[in-house]
Chains A and B, each alone.
Chain A
Amino acid sequence: MIAESMYQELILEHYKHPQGRGLREPYDAEVHHVNPTCGDEVTMRVKVDDGGKVLDVSYDGQGCSISQAAASVLHELTTGSTVEESLSVVDEFTRLMQGRGQVEADEDVLGDAVAFAGVAKFPARVKCALLAWMAYKDAVVRSQA
């Protein structure tokens, strides 16, 4: 049962009970990202204060459990942190996802997102996990522009 390594309880939990879902005001930037191979999509908004603190990350979208759970975990990890901190989490998550299962996850940086380590072994699903995270990175860059 290989899938067990991918469908961690924590991922299923976030999928069934997504955190911070729904688009909210106010926001500095909004982006819409799609995964053309499977039709998954996410709309993401970020609100950052003058001190570089991420006040809110709100999102809506549709897609598989991996893509939706990844958005929920992202919301938890980034809201309340600084832009700089959150981007280092994004970088670490990206490194883990693109590591083909060979990369050791840094739990101190990733927190709950380490649950996605198993997804890295499924090349077809890596893009699902990264969809919201890439959207977040894009939104943050735009909010700072």
Chain B
Amino acid sequence: MVAVRGVSKWFGAHQVLKDVSLDVAAGEVVAVIGPSGSGKTTLLRCVNLLEDFQQGEIRVDGEAVGYAGAGAARRRLPERVIARTRSQVGMVFQSFNLFPHMTVLKNVMVAPVRVKKMPEAEARASAVRLLERVGLADKLDAYPARLSGGQQQRVAIARALAMQPKVILLDEITSALDPELVGEVLAVIRQLARDGMTMMIVTHEMQFAREVAQKVVFMDGGAMIEQGPPRALFADPRTERLQTFLKRFREGYQL
């Protein structure tokens, strides 16, 4: 579903992604872990071209994201085409980014109606269904400012799902939440995984990554260091960098 091939990205002279390749099969959940500044969020943002990248290729369901041609002939696709690709890739952010001037229902409906040109009644019915699914059927007319972080994040998930995306990108979606609210958000993601949604998850929740992902990718310094099934990767890290990272992580937990 998602194929990342040799992607490199520079911020000025500083290389933030180094020849990253990675596959996400349909229905698969891939977790990307690594220390802060390892480029995992940047990689995620490249998949729907919220960030440009200078080398390599990303395909979503066979369609090239953002660029056509290679080498000197490589050019950025027109904004209209990029927007179409983005409309098929859902994204949930660390800071929720709900539209503060719209009710919960409107937040979920607005893109299907205005981008996909879905009839209003149909979009409303689908939005209500999705909000029921994330347990917020009683908040349809509330404004985001009235909701807790966990509730806001669940609305954000419903908003992403409303576009019926082929894949959903989750960018540290529990990092901004109070510890007691993390569970309700992860429960929604767990259910999505069971329903066969293709997901790419950047997370600091190792336990969650281990439980929900079929594949875990470890990044450090902008490069993909190691990837594999979670059980093997966590139990038997082959590289020293992953060993150090996991060790530091476990120590952090014991404090």
Q: Do A and B bind each other?
A: no
Q: Which A residues contact B (CB, under 8 angstroms)?
A: none
